[in-house]
Amino acid sequence: MSYSSTSARLAQSSPSVSLEKGAYRLRAPPRIRTISKTRIQPLQLHPRAADSSRSAYQKQMAVLVIFLISATVSCFGAAYYLFTTRWDLATLSSLGDASDNPDSLSPSSLLSLSSSLSSVLSVDSSEKYLAYLPHSGFHNQRIAFENALVLSRLLNRTLLVPPVRLGMTPVYYLPFDQLRDVLANATKVGLEHCKEVRLDGSQDIPPECMDYYDFTYVPWEWLVDLSKLKTEQRVLPCWNLTDAWLEDRLNISHNDTFFFKDTARNHYSFLDFTPGPSSSTTALSRKYIESIQISALAQRAERLVFLGTLMGSSRLHLRNPTYYQLRARIREQMALTNPLLAALAEDVRAALGGQYLGAHVRLGDGLFRENGAENVRLTWWRLVHATLGFSIQDTLALEKALADFDVDASGNAAMTLAPPRIPLDIPALRVPHPPLPPLNPATNLSFACPGTLHTAPALTLLNTPLFIATDVAAPHADPLLARFTRTFPCTFFLADFRAQFAPLDGLVSGADGVRLRGFVVPFLDAMIAGRAWAVVGTEQSTYSAFVADVLWRRYHGFEIVQRG
């Protein structure tokens, strides 16, 4: 199936692609003008001399035409090379900026990336690789990266690792060919002048710079520690996956590449076993259309196996205990470890007295906002009943006593008479953690509690500080979050710790000059929640699952929870 026409339409409608329009447009050279004050009269020649002159003139013109054709081909070749290697150049040119600016991306991270890129200039022609196409938000990119690391290890292939895209304009899933085209063009090369554009309204913003500051790219190693993984398998940071780049840098031709061109988000899954005669492949693949045996994929002779999307916690169906543990070790390494963010999270933890409750409440978009009242109530019950140990009767009585905080999207009071059904978390029950230390409400907070403390002995546990990580812009004024602030008088949000996260204001990407504060605040939010005595999340949120399954357990030294 061809996607050429669809891809062309997408290129016209995609903000990321439209950014690039004109950046690589080739213009004809200016006409050569002869400057002369006196008009030169042609010489009058003998007929034979005239014929000879015309012959010489024709030869000169032929040479000139050949020269111009050669020059044109050379120009197009140079322009095409610059286009296909533009991410490399952008990365390497950012090193000077990063080194000169102490608030920009860690120079060591970018130098490591540059070293990896330059090392492929003398590539081993027998080395085999695995590539994939990332998309969507950070956590979907993370899940795809985890799956790619596992697959590349099982296939004994070097993994080509794209950077992390952070921002307000994600690249959403598309079928393989279209997604590859969009990613190849979603760069900022040719837009270097946008760094100088002021966003304070004092000047008009050029059209091509309208969404320049809406996204940026960072290497994975700026967010997570891959040093242990890199001792066990080879990964190669790669900011370009075009055919031209692969052939130029890795000496991999299109004919030496095996493509898995998915046409749907849930097209392929990968199995580490052979389905038996009583089991259909369709049943084993669960929600995926086709199942691929990893052992069969390992037999491919091509130097590059190129996959599309790898997003989905259940995309790898693993039964081999060794492989299952390998995936667990890889997922463990996805805990956020950026030194600056970790230091700021520790500052907030200390300000909260060292022991507090955590909740990750997602309400800001889509179905999470639509189902906000139900999700908030379930999270509240998990905190009060499942975490703090209040009985069902006491939790229900508390909820009814404060019923006016439970409002729906219209602002109407909603009285719920029956307790909600709290789903049993089977994956978490499979990996129990050691008992937690006793919970003693902290008295050494750096801030006064916003609410009035409970005085009844039966409610004193509710005076425990509660930190809520949320995507709500004004959490103190949100009616749904009032359920927490009315119950827990010592409820805090990240906005309450401006002094602690002030250093983020100076964090700038050395690659494109974009300020990173708005992009990394959700990471800091999650890292603080993950340091809590106990944490609960939002139902069906991959972000909440990451906080509870990986961050909280890693920060407390427990085995992580695997889902899928």
> How sure is the predictor about 70, in pLDDT bands with cuts at 50, 70 and 90?
low
Overall average pLDDT of the 446-473 stretch: 93
Q: How many residues does the chain have?
A: 564
Residue 557 has pLDDT above 60, yes or no: yes
Give the integer Cα–Cα distance in Å for 465 and 532: 10
Count of beta carbons in the 10 Å neighbourhood of residue 29: 9
pLDDT score for 379: 96
Give the integer Cα–Cα distance in Å for 527 and 556: 12
Count of beta carbons in the 10 Å neighbourhood of residue 249: 19
Contact 292/317 with Cβ under 8 angstroms?
no
Which tens digit of pLDDT belongs to each residue from 489-548? Answer: 999 999 999 988 899 999 998 889 999 999 999 999 999 999 999 999 999 898 999 999
Q: What are phi and psi of 483, to 5 degrees?
A: -55, -40
> How sure is the predictor about 120, in pLDDT bands with cuts at 50, 70 and 90?
very low
Candidate from 50-64, 139-153, 239-253, 514-528 with smallest mean pLDDT? 50-64
Taking alpha carbons only, the member of 460, 493, 476, 471 closest to residue 544 is 471
> How sure is the predictor about 187, in pLDDT bands with cuts at 50, 70 and 90?
confident
Residue 463 has pLDDT above 90, yes or no: yes
Give the integer Cα–Cα distance in Å for 485 and 466: 9
Conformation bin of residue 136: beta by default, left when phi > 0, alpha when psi is -120 to 50: left
pLDDT score for 51: 52
pLDDT score for 19: 31
Give the integer Cα–Cα distance in Å for 183 and 402: 50
Angle between helices 4-13 and 176-185 (to 10 degrees): 40
pLDDT score for 177: 97
Beta-carbon-side half-sphere exposure of residue 502 (alpha carbons within 13 Å): 3
pLDDT score for 445: 80
Locus of tokens 């950012």: 94
Question: Do the strands 357-361 and 290-293 form a parallel or antiparallel pair, or are they unpaired?
Answer: unpaired
pLDDT more than 90, % of the chain: 59
- For residue 371 the two structure tokens come to 């189902």
- For residue 228 the two structure tokens come to 């242990």
Overall average pLDDT of the 67-92 stretch: 44
Which tens digit of pLDDT belongs to each residue from 36-63? Answer: 333 334 434 344 444 555 555 566 666 5
Residue 35 has pLDDT above 50, yes or no: no
Give the integer Cα–Cα distance in Å for 372 and 131: 38
pTM: 0.77
Give the integer Cα–Cα distance in Å for 160 and 148: 9
Residue 204 has pLDDT above 60, yes or no: yes
Q: In sequence order, what are the residues at sequence separation of 6 or more whose Cβ sits closer than 8 angstroms to the Cβ of residue 405?
A: 479, 482, 483, 486, 487
Q: In sequence order, what are the residues at sequence separation of 6 or more whose Cβ sits closer than 8 angstroms to the Cβ of residue 160?
A: 129, 130, 131, 236, 238, 241
- For residue 542 the two structure tokens come to 């991959």
> How sure is the predictor about 122, in pLDDT bands with cuts at 50, 70 and 90?
very low
pLDDT score for 58: 63
Which tens digit of pLDDT belongs to each residue from 503-519? Answer: 999 999 888 999 999 99
DSSP per-residue codes, 216-227: EEE-GGGTB--H
Conformation bin of residue 201: beta by default, left when phi > 0, alpha when psi is -120 to 50: left
pLDDT score for 72: 56
Overall average pLDDT of the 13-24 stretch: 32
Which tens digit of pLDDT belongs to each residue from 397-447? Answer: 999 887 655 544 444 444 557 899 998 899 999 999 999 999 987 667 878
